């Protein structure tokens, strides 16, 4: 289909199957139009008809032309003018009537030379269609080349404006393309072609890599490298992206340095530190918290805080623990730390909630809990020691008061007797002839003095033992003989109280290596107590046996009223008494059992009481095996 050229711009090529055709003729065009339309039935032909003298007008590039002039020379000249242009399209010349020099037309540059009759034939139509199609495709190719060239220029402009360096590298390391940023990062200047065609020494394996490169000024830069596989102009290549992170690396290094300093400070703290999120999940803890709990940080991170702190973490003012202190600091509260292995450690706990404004509201990251732990085990032990010392001091003060009360009676009684009877003797109150009476008074004075001396000796011995100045004078001791000697000393009191003394010590009992005076003191104290507290008609017995481990046990048993279980520790303390009622107390300062127990400890042994109310009392004295002297026939 042929469109008229009236008002149609030459540049209007919006239809893909349209073509511009220039017809140069000097006669009627009706017949030519019909023949052209018949030759090009599938194309929209926009035909422009000009004369030979109008060829100087602007003709679009690659436009096909048909020269149909009547004169041969004019035809040759028109063909030459049409083909002389750099962007000339193919030209079909119709030979003038007559036998002209058709070769001259071909030499002028005509693509085809046809007669007017040939144009009506099938071959002529095909030739004309081929010429017009060649012009169309040449025009399209030029357009594509222009588009591709413009696209390449735009690509280069975009890539050169990109802040990151971009490289295209083949598998051998040859650079196929580099943008301006890459050239600036890797070469002395950003000139074009500095990298393309050169080998670049950057790692191509892996997704993300950090590399160092020297810039144009010689400064070492830190570059972030990322490579991906792609196809470039039909070749498998790697696309490498470089980003200058020198500033970021410096900031990151400073942040790491600050973080390391902070971690070092936190790890040198004596107090434990626990960091948890808003849900109470442990995020971190310092070295002190690890030492206090016995856990490693990796074992607890991600665990709930109540796994480590009984009751979890919550600020005191929010958890009802007493609120913040008056100075605005978090209040300390008592808590227990769950250690590895299940033990509980008392700690002082101060928890602070830090709000994170950049975190989403209501999320665990919106609040951070910082808990400081202070180990108070030593303080608790010190408090317990202070309380124990106070209790001990109270007991000592009470015991001292009781001792003074008892001693005032124990000392005044013999002293009054001594003074009273001495005065009677001095004044001869019953006359000079009552000698036998004065002799009895002298005996009372003597016995009272002995009793007073015994009291004083007990007090002095207890003081020496507690001061650590009592030294043992060791020798060979025969327990059987010593028991019988002690029976002699307490025999008169036992007979007067109608108490039976029983000696159950075997004659084959081995000897002891001990302080004879100390052992005698122990036996005498225990026998005196047994006789003192056994009612009339009762019995006091002494037995001894060698235990299976080679130790020696001496047992003094009585049939007295016995001692309550809670009173046994009391009677083992200095000046302690099982009976608090002064009217029922017996004589003595309450030092016999404590002195005996200390003397046994000085021998490496021990003394313990086995008693119950109404069942009598047994006092056992244990001497260790190394103090028992075995007979020669029993020695290994």
Query: Strands 64-68 and 44-50, how do they pair?
Result: unpaired
597-621 pLDDT, tens digit per residue, is 888 898 899 998 998 888 899 999 9
pLDDT of residue 585 exceeding 70: no
Phi, psi of 204, rounded to the nearest 5 degrees: -110, -5
* Among 339, 336, 280, CA closest to 310: 336
CB 108 within 8 A of CB 64: no
Q: At what angle do helices 377-427 and 435-467 cross, to 10 degrees?
A: 160
- How much is the pLDDT for 545? 92
- The answer to whether residue 300 scores a pLDDT higher than 60 is yes
Cα 50 from chain centroid?
92
User: Is the separation of the CB atoms in 109 and 79 below 8 Å?
Assistant: yes
Number of CB atoms found within 10 A of residue 469's CB = 8
pLDDT given at position 554: 92
- pLDDT surpasses 80 at 170: yes
Condensed to tens digits (0 to 9), the pLDDT of residues 532-550 reads: 889 999 999 999 999 999 9
Q: Against a cut of 0.75, is the pTM above it?
A: no
Strands (E), 79-219: 91-94, 112-114, 165-169, 175-178, 208-214
Res 145: pLDDT: 66
591, 572 contact by CB (below 8 A)? no
Cα distance between residue 519 and residue 157, in whole Å? 113
pLDDT at position 55 over 80: no
pLDDT at 578: 60
How does residue 279 score in pLDDT terms, banded at 50, 70 and 90? Answer: confident
Q: Give the contacts of 568 (CB within 8 A, at least 6 positions apart).
A: 609, 611
Going by pLDDT thresholds of 50, 70 and 90, the confidence category of residue 56 is low
d(CA 10, CA 20): 7
Percent of the chain scoring above 70 in pLDDT: 79
**pLDDT mean over 218-236:** 80
Which residue did the predictor score with more confidence, 105 or 455?
105
Q: Which residue has the higher pLDDT, 448 or 321?
A: 448
pLDDT at 114: 79
Q: Which residue has the higher pLDDT, 219 or 305?
A: 305
212, β-bridge pairs = 222
Output the six-digit token pair for 570.
């009391």
pLDDT in the model for residue 583: 37
pLDDT greater at residue 606 or residue 133: 606
User: Which residue(s) pair with 227 in the sheet?
Assistant: 240
pLDDT attached to residue 588: 56
Burial state string for 221-252 with b = 16 or more CB within 10 A and e = fewer than 16: bbbbbebeeeeeeeeebbbbbbebeeeebeee
- Mean model confidence pLDDT for the chain: 77
Residue closest to 119 by CA, chosen among 94, 141, 140: 94
**Weakest mean pLDDT among 75-79, 148-152, 280-284, 520-524:** 148-152
State the angle between helix axes of 516-533 and 592-602 in degrees (0 to 180), rounded to the nearest 10: 150
Q: Find the distance separating the first CA and the last CA of the chain, reported in whole Å.
A: 140
The rounded distance, in Å, linking the Cα atoms of 604 and 627 is: 9
Q: How far apart are CA 213 and CA 225, in angstroms?
A: 11
pLDDT at 321: 43
**Whether pLDDT at 523 is above 60:** yes
Is 50 exceeded by the pLDDT of residue 320? no
For residues 50-64, give the mean pLDDT: 73
Instruction: Compare 318 and 260 and report the one with higher pLDDT.
Output: 260
pLDDT value at position 5? Answer: 52
How big is the chain, counted in residues?
636
pLDDT of the residue at 206: 57
Q: What is the pLDDT of residue 123?
A: 59
Strand partners, 609: 619
Alpha carbon separation from 74 to 63, 185, 498, 628 (Å, rounded): 20, 64, 178, 156
Nearest C-alpha neighbor of 263 from the set 283, 279, 284:
284
256 pLDDT higher than 90: no
The predicted model gives 520-533 an average pLDDT of: 88
Residue 535 DSSP code: P
Residue 622 predicted with pLDDT over 90: yes
pLDDT band at 282 (very low <50, low <70, confident <90, very high): confident
pLDDT on residue 617:
92
377 pLDDT more than 70: yes
Distance of CA 174 to the CA centre of its chain: 48
The band of 624, judged by pLDDT with boundaries at 50, 70 and 90, is very high
Does residue 175 contact residue 168 with C-beta atoms inside 8 Å? yes
pLDDT score of 403? 66
Q: Spell out the domains of the chain, with CATH numbers in brackets.
A: 2-144 (3.40.50.2300), 162-249 (3.30.450.20), 281-368 (no CATH), 382-462 (1.10.287.130), 471-634 (3.30.565.10)
């Amino acid at each position: 289909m042929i469109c008229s050229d009236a008002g149609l711009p030459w540049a209007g090529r919006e239809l893909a199957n349209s073509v511009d055709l220039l017809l140069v003729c000097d006669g009627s065009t009706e017949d030519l139009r019909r023949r052209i339309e018949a030759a090009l039935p599938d194309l929209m032909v926009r035909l422009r008809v000009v004369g030979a003298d109008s060829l100087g007008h602007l003709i679009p590039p690659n436009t096909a032309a048909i020269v149909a002039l009547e004169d041969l020379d004019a035809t040759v000249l028109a063909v030459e003018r049409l083909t002389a242009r750099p962007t000339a399209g193919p030209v079909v010349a119709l030979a003038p009537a007559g036998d002209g020099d058709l070769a001259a037309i071909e030499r002028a540059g005509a693509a085809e030379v046809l007669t007017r009759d040939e144009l009506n034939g099938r071959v002529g139509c095909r030739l004309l269609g081929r010429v017009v199609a060649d012009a169309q495709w040449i025009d399209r190719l030029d357009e594509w080349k222009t588009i591709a060239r413009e696209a390449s220029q735009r690509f280069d402009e975009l890539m050169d404006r990109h802040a990151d360096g971009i490289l295209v590298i083949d598998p051998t390391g040859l650079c196929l393309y580099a943008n301006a940023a890459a050239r600036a990062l890797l070469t002395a200047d950003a000139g074009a072609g500095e990298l393309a065609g050169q080998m670049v020494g950057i790692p191509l394996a892996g997704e993300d890599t950090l590399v160092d490169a020297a810039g144009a000024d010689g400064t070492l830069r830190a570059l972030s490298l990322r490579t991906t596989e792609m196809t470039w102009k039909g070749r498998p290549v790697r696309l490498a992206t470089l980003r200058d992170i020198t500033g970021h690396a410096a900031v990151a290094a400073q942040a790491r340095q600050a973080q390391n300093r902070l971690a070092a400070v936190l790890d040198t703290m004596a107090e434990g530190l626990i960091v948890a999120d808003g849900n109470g999940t442990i995020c971190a803890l310092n070295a002190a918290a690890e030492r206090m709990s016995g856990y490693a940080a990796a074992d607890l991170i991600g665990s709930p805080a109540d796994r480590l702190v009984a009751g979890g973490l919550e600020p005191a003012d929010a958890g009802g623990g007493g609120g913040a202190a008056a100075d605005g600091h978090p209040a300390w509260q008592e808590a227990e730390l769950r250690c590895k292995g299940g033990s509980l450690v008392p700690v002082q706990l101060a928890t602070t909630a830090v709000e994170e404004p950049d975190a989403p509201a209501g999320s665990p990251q919106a609040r951070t809990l910082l808990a400081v732990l202070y180990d108070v085990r030593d303080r608790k032990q010190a408090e317990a020691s202070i309380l124990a010392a106070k209790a001990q001091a109270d007991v000592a003060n009470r015991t001292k008061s009781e001792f003074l009360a008892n001693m005032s009676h124990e000392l005044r009684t013999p002293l009054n007797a001594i003074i009273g009877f001495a005065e009677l003797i001095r004044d001869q109150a019953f006359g000079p002839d009552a000698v036998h009476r004065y002799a009895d008074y002298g005996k009372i004075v003597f016995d009272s003095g002995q009793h007073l001396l015994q009291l004083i000796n007990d007090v002095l011995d207890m003081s020496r033992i507690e001061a650590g100045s009592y030294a043992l004078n060791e020798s060979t001791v025969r327990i059987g003989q010593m028991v019988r000697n002690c029976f002699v000393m307490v025999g008169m009191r036992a007979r007067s109280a109608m108490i039976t003394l029983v000696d159950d010590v075997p004659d084959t009992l081995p000897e002891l290596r001990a302080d004879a005076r100390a052992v005698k003191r122990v036996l005498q104290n225990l026998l005196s107590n047994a006789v003192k507290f056994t009612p009339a008609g009762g019995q006091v017995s002494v037995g001894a046996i060698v235990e299976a481990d080679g130790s020696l046990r001496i047992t003094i048993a009585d049939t007295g009223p016995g001692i309550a279980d809670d009173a046994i520790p009391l009677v083992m303390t200095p000046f302690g008494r099982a009976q608090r009622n002064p009217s029922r107390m017996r004589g003595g300062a309450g030092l016999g059992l404590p002195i005996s127990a200390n003397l046994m400890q000085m021998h490496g042994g021990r003394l313990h009481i086995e008693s119950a109310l109404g069942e009598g009392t047994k006092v056992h004295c244990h001497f260790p095996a190394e103090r028992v002297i075995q007979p020669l026939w029993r020695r290994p």
